[in-house]
Structure 1
Amino acid sequence: MKPIYKVFTSLSLGIICLFSSCEEKANEVEEVIDATHAIQTEKHLIKVDTLYTEFKNPWGMTWLDDGTMLVTERSGEILLFKDDQFTGEKVSGLPDFYVKGQVGLMDITVHPNFSDNGWIYISYGKPMQDSLGATAIMRFRLEGNQATNQEELIVTAPPWETGRHYGSRIVFDNDNYLYFSNGERGNKPENAQDLTNSHGKIHRIHDDGRIPNDNPFVGMEGAVSSIWTYGNRNPQGMVYDSENDRIWESEHGPMGGDEVNLIEKGKNYGWPVITYGQNYDGTPITDITEKEGMEQPVTYYVPSIATCGMTLVTSDRYPEWKGDLLIGALAKMHINRVDLEGTDAMGQEIMFQDIGRVRDVEQSPDGYLYALTEGTGLMVKFLPVN
Structure 2
Amino acid sequence: MSYLSKRLLSGAAIAFIVAGCSSAQNPLNSSSAIGSESNYGIPPSGDVPKANNFKKTKVVEGLENPWSMAWLPDGTMLITERPGRLRIVRNGVLDPTPITGVPEVFAVSQGGLMEVSLHPKFAQNRLVYLTYSHGTEEANRTRIARAKFDGKALQDVQVIFEVSPTKPGGQHFGSRIVWLPDNTMLLAIGDGGNPPLKINGELPRQQAQKLDSQLGKIVRLNDDGSIPKDNPFVSTANANPAVWSYGHRNIQGLTFDAENKRVWSTEHGSKGGDEVNLEEAGKNYGWPVVTYSREYSGGEISQERSRPGMVDPKLVWTPSIAPSGLAFYKGDLFAGGLVSQDVRHIDLNEKGNVVSEKSIEIGQRVRDVKVAPDGKLYVITDEDNGQLIRLEAVGN
Q: TM exceeds 0.5?
A: yes
Query: Is contact 1:96–1:127 with CA below 8 Å preserved after alignment?
Result: no
Look up the match of 1:56: 64
Look up the match of 2:345: 337
Match of 1:273 among 269, 277, 289: 289
Q: How does 1:188-267 map to 2 (within 5 A)?
A: 188-267=204-283
Q: CA deviation at 1:54?
A: 1.3
Q: CA deviation at 1:42?
A: 4.0
**Count of paired positions:** 336
Look up the match of 1:77: 85
Indicate whether 1:350 and 2:366 are aligned: no
Q: How does 1:278-289 map to 2 (within 5 A)?
A: 278-289=294-305
Higher mean C-alpha displacement, 266-275 vs 78-87:
78-87
- Structure 1: how far apart are the matches of 2:105 and 2:86? 13
Look up the match of 1:175: 182
Q: CA deviation at 1:276?
A: 1.0
Look up the match of 1:13: none
Query: Is contact 2:148–2:154 with CA below 8 Å preserved after alignment?
Result: yes
Q: CA deviation at 1:196?
A: 1.3
Query: Is contact 1:168–1:237 with CA below 8 Å preserved after alignment?
Result: no
Indicate whether 1:140 and 2:147 are aligned: yes
Unaligned runs of 5+ in 1: 1-39, 314-321
Look up the match of 2:14: none
- Secondary structure of residue in 1 paired with 2:62: coil
Letter in 2 for 1:364: A
Match of 1:157 among 161, 164, 171: 164
- Structure 1: how far apart are the matches of 2:215 and 2:100? 30
Q: CA deviation at 1:47?
A: 2.5
CA deviations 1:104-159 (Å, max 9, x no partner) are: 1111111111111111111111226x852111111111123111021211110111
Higher mean C-alpha displacement, 359-368 vs 369-378:
369-378
C-alpha distance 95-42 of structure 1, shift in aligned 2 (>3 A): closer
Q: CA deviation at 1:347?
A: 1.1
- Structure 2: how far apart are the matches of 1:219 and 1:384? 47
- Structure 1: how far apart are the matches of 2:326 and 2:149? 26
Look up the match of 2:307: 291
- Structure 2: how far apart are the matches of 1:368 and 1:87? 22
Letter in 2 for 1:381: R
Look up the match of 1:122: 130
TM-score (norm 2): 0.82
Look up the match of 1:15: none
- Structure 2: how far apart are the matches of 1:271 and 1:131? 24
Indicate whether 1:106 and 2:122 are aligned: no
Indicate whether 1:364 and 2:372 are aligned: yes
Indicate whether 1:326 and 2:342 are aligned: no
Unaligned runs of 5+ in 2: 1-48, 195-203
Look up the match of 2:199: none
Match of 1:303 among 319, 341, 345: 319
> Taking every aligned residue pair, what percent have the same amino acid on both sides?
38
Q: Higher relative contact order at CA 8 Å, sep ≥6: structure 1 or structure 2?
A: 2
Query: Is contact 2:51–2:359 with CA below 8 Å preserved after alignment?
Result: no
- Structure 2: how far apart are the matches of 1:66 and 1:53? 21
Q: CA deviation at 1:349?
A: 0.5
- Structure 2: how far apart are the matches of 1:233 and 1:125? 17
- For the aligned residue pairs, the C-alpha RMSD in angstroms reads 1.6
TM-score (norm 1): 0.84
Query: Is contact 2:126–2:150 with CA below 8 Å preserved after alignment?
Result: no
Letter in 2 for 1:206: N
